Amino acid sequence: MLAAMPPESPKRPQPGEGHIRKRPSGRVRDRGDACPGALKLHRADDGALARLRLPTGVLTERQIRVLADAADRLGDGRLSLTSRGNLELRGLGEGCGLDLAELLRGAGLLPASEAHERIRNMVVSPLAGPGVQAAARELDALLCARAWTTGLSGRFLFAVDDGRGDVAALGADVTLLAAEDDGFLLTAAGRAYRIAGPDAPAAALAAARAFLTAAETAGTGAWRIAELPDAGHEMDVTGQLARAGVAAAPAPVPPTRSCA
């Protein structure tokens, strides 16, 4: 059973949420990211919770069956969908982590590197065509192939939008918005760039690297771009794109429609 999760109250602490202290130059995280994952379970009132990232939002029939079986045998029998397109298994019993990991790994639902499991945060337009899906898959592959990407928090979010603006409105840290010319518009830290289609995944990765560099320089422990001093406006996205060999032309930031 797939149950949509109701929006959580902003007053409730989220699993893995750290305390934030404010200072004139920006926010400072008191500790590292503790966001739940499929391998790093969160203890809740109703048992352990596992959060599974689905980078492209697509599951095969076999994967759905494996997840349903895992929910029935190890949890409360339900699969819950989060606002970021992740799946949660709740009510998990004590000591079931290894069994769950084995099931997920056998179904191809975990990356080869366990260190990359929680950083595959990506929302993709539900009705995206093959070109947009391919870009999302390549971005996921690039994320999992770079050692430095494990420095991203479990809350840093990518969005790959097919041009209709549905997931571009979700406030992701880095967004790829498909354009009519088969290219993409990359948006991050309040700036936008026109990118050729084949370069879009590498461009998104370069923007993420610009964030990590800015976060390290700021020393604030930021998990997301909005937490950087001046909301990341000093991020060197242009420089990182050039270093990645991605041709990028500055463009106006597109308006985003409301998610309501």
Q: What is the pLDDT of residues 207-250, one digit of tens each?
A: 999 999 999 999 988 999 999 988 888 899 999 999 999 999 99
Who's near 211: CB < 8 A, 6+ residues apart? 152, 156, 173, 174, 188, 189, 222, 225, 228, 232, 235
CA distance 182 to 173: 22
Which CATH number does the domain housing residue 127 bear? Answer: 3.30.413
Q: Does residue 138 share a domain with residue 96?
A: no
Residue 26 confidence (pLDDT): 54
Q: Does residue 147 share a domain with residue 94?
A: no
Q: Could you tell me the pLDDT band of residue 3, with boundaries at 50, 70 and 90?
A: very low
Domain that includes residue 232, residue range = 116-251
The answer to whether residue 256 sits within a structural domain is no
The answer to whether residue 198 sits within a structural domain is yes
Q: Which range in 1-10, 89-98, 170-179, 225-234 is most confidently predicted, on average pLDDT?
A: 170-179
Helix (H, G, I), strand (E, B) or coil at 42: strand
Decide which of 83, 110, 137 is a domain's last residue: 110
Q: How far is CA 231 from CA 21, 69, 90, in A?
A: 15, 43, 34
Residue 5 confidence (pLDDT): 42
Amino acid identity, residue 193?
Y
Q: Could you tell me the pLDDT band of residue 1, with boundaries at 50, 70 and 90?
A: very low
Helix axes 200-218, 130-145, angle to 10 degrees: 40
Mean pLDDT, the chain, whole residue set: 88
